[in-house]
Amino acid sequence: MRARLLAAVVVPLATALLLAACGSTPVGSAPPPSYDPPTGFAAPTGSLFGGSGTRVFGRDADALPAALIGTAVWATDGGRVLRTDSTGAEIPGPVAPAGRFAAGKPVPTPDGGVLVGAASVVPGSGTTPPGLAVDLLAFDATSGALRWNAPTVLPWSERPPAVTMTVAGVVAGVGVLTASTDSQRTAIGVDLTSHQVLWTADGVAADAVLADGPAGGTALGVATAPGGSRAYADSTLVGLDVVTGLRRFAPGDVLRAPEITPAGPGLAVVSGRTAATTLSAPSASLRFVDARGATVRTVDVGRSYTPPRCVWDEAATTVCGGDTRVFAVDAASAAPLWELPDPAANRVAPRMTTAWHGAVYGTTVNGPLVLDARTGADRDTRPGAAPVLVNAYLGLGAEAGGVAGFGGGATITPAIR
């Protein structure tokens, strides 16, 4: 009798532990409900980047090295690639090759993969100093196993933990990775079929990839002189052919602290401070450009040092928000759709956190809310959270101390409607 009772307790417990190790959705069971887009979130069930062991401090939402892929959270922290469930518990699987220091936001690929950038030291010999190599790592999103990696040696060196890795995205079958420090930067194009490095562009940081026709694309980024800081030195907009790495158009206007983010499959937002900016006369710039570098629309951002932050909802709309203003444009044409505040309707502008699949997430003095991305109308005034990353299953939000603030971490909140 005692043996049967012990088996009745131990076997289910062992099964539960095994399922927990395999991921948030046990094999053979139904996945949790999905909501596209979610408009309500449960109380936090876990957190990431908390405590003294994390290397993620003081990051904003755009720099948070995490992505929501299916029912899992993929992230990098302290050189490791992490995959967790909705409780923040790590799911075994992703392991970078020995000596690689992984960093930056993981990016999913159309074939069920996950791309991550990593840096490593090239050993020196005799009078030759150590060098720097970077890899584009490709993991399987389901199993977490490493599918392949594409390494290349850079023309400059630095300790890997000091190198920022940015996967700009995938277009025309090419993944684009940028390795950078405050004073050096190199963009790299990798063929996702042959796993070969197609090109490198020293002095260029590629931030976004845009489709251009059925088989073409542009890696859109900024060029800054070697030794110059992107935050303070003059930079120019550049577009590289994703297959050849050749420049597709001449450098554009000079900007300082430029930011480039996708605004649609074929549009990007280019923002920054103009060269005319002084302490007494701030002059920010924000415009929408296409894959050929042509300006589709310029937005008046007034007298400001910092232009609004823009987020493409990965569907039909791009939403931009600053301290006192939120507006939306069509992701194909950049045509304006709506803007807040609206004094005539007695509506204030929320502080936008993100947008996804037709929904805009943010907060006002009344708490979290969700807006309709196409109309700006209130869609849900009690969503329970205002996450900074969203998919059909989860939201990743900020605790009171700020996103990945000192000891604050980032909360995981399951979608419930």
* Most confident stretch, 5-19, 23-37, 269-283, 329-343: 329-343
DSSP state of 409: B
In the chain, the percentage of residues whose pLDDT exceeds 90 is 72
What CA–CA distance (Å, rounded) separates 235 from 47? 37
**Can you give the pLDDT at residue 52?**
67
Q: In what side-by-side order are the strands of the sheet with 185-191?
A: 164-171, 174-180, 185-191, 197-202
Q: How many CB atoms lie within 10 A of CB 397?
A: 25
408: pLDDT strictly greater than 70: no
**Minimal CA–CA distance to 390: which of 374, 412, 364?**
412
What pLDDT is recorded for position 247? 94
Which pLDDT score, from 0 to 100, does residue 18 have? 34
For residue 305, pLDDT beyond 80: no
Q: How many residues does the chain have?
A: 417
- pLDDT for residue 367: 95
User: Which ranges in 238-297 belong to alpha helices (H)?
Assistant: none
Please give the pLDDT value at position 280.
Answer: 60
Q: Is the pLDDT of residue 19 over 60?
A: no
In this prediction, what percent of the chain has a pLDDT beyond 70?
A: 87
Residue 282 is predicted with a pLDDT of 62
3-state SS, residue 129? coil
Strand 394-398 relative to strand 113-122, pairing: unpaired
Number of C-beta neighbours around residue 388 at 10 A: 23
Least confident residue range of 11-20, 204-213, 408-417: 11-20
The most confident of 7-11, 162-166, 255-259, by mean pLDDT: 162-166
- Determine the Cα angle at 100 with ends 408 and 188, to 5°: 95
What are the residue ranges of helices labelled H in 60-118?
A: none
Left, alpha or beta for 244 (phi > 0: left; psi -120 to 50: alpha)?
A: alpha
Instruction: List, for residues 184-221, the tens digit of each pLDDT value.
Output: 999 999 999 999 999 999 999 999 999 998 779 999 99
Nearest to 228 by CA among 194, 180, 267: 180
What token pair was written down for 251?
């450098």
Taking residues 222-228, what's their average pLDDT? Answer: 90
- Give the separation between CA 101 and CA 145, rounded to whole angstroms: 17
* Mean pLDDT, rounded, of the chain: 88
Residue whose C-alpha is closest to residue 376's, from 320, 334, 324: 320
Sign of the CA dihedral 219, 224, 225, 231? negative
Cis peptide before 37 (omega within 30 of 0): yes
User: Which of these ranges, 10-24, 124-138, 157-171, has the smallest mean pLDDT?
Assistant: 10-24
Task: Please state which of the ranges 2-16, 228-242, 341-355 shows the lowest mean pLDDT.
Answer: 2-16
State pLDDT tens for residues 103-147: 999 999 999 999 999 999 999 989 889 999 999 999 999 999 999
pLDDT tens digits, one per residue of 53-88: 777 776 667 778 999 999 999 999 999 999 999 999
Average pLDDT over residues 295-300: 93
- Neighbouring CB atoms inside 10 A of 161's CB total 11
Instruction: Give the neighbor-by-neighbor strand order of the sheet with 389-390.
Output: 46-48, 410-414, 394-398, 389-390
Closest to 213 (Cα-Cα) out of 292, 300, 279, 159: 292
pTM over 0.85: yes
Four-residue CA torsion sign, 366, 369, 375, 377: negative
What's the Cα-to-Cα distance from 393 to each of 32, 37, 414, rounded to whole Å?
7, 9, 6
Q: What is the pLDDT of residue 303?
A: 74
pLDDT of 321 higher than 70: yes
Residues 6+ apart with CB under 8 A from 344: none
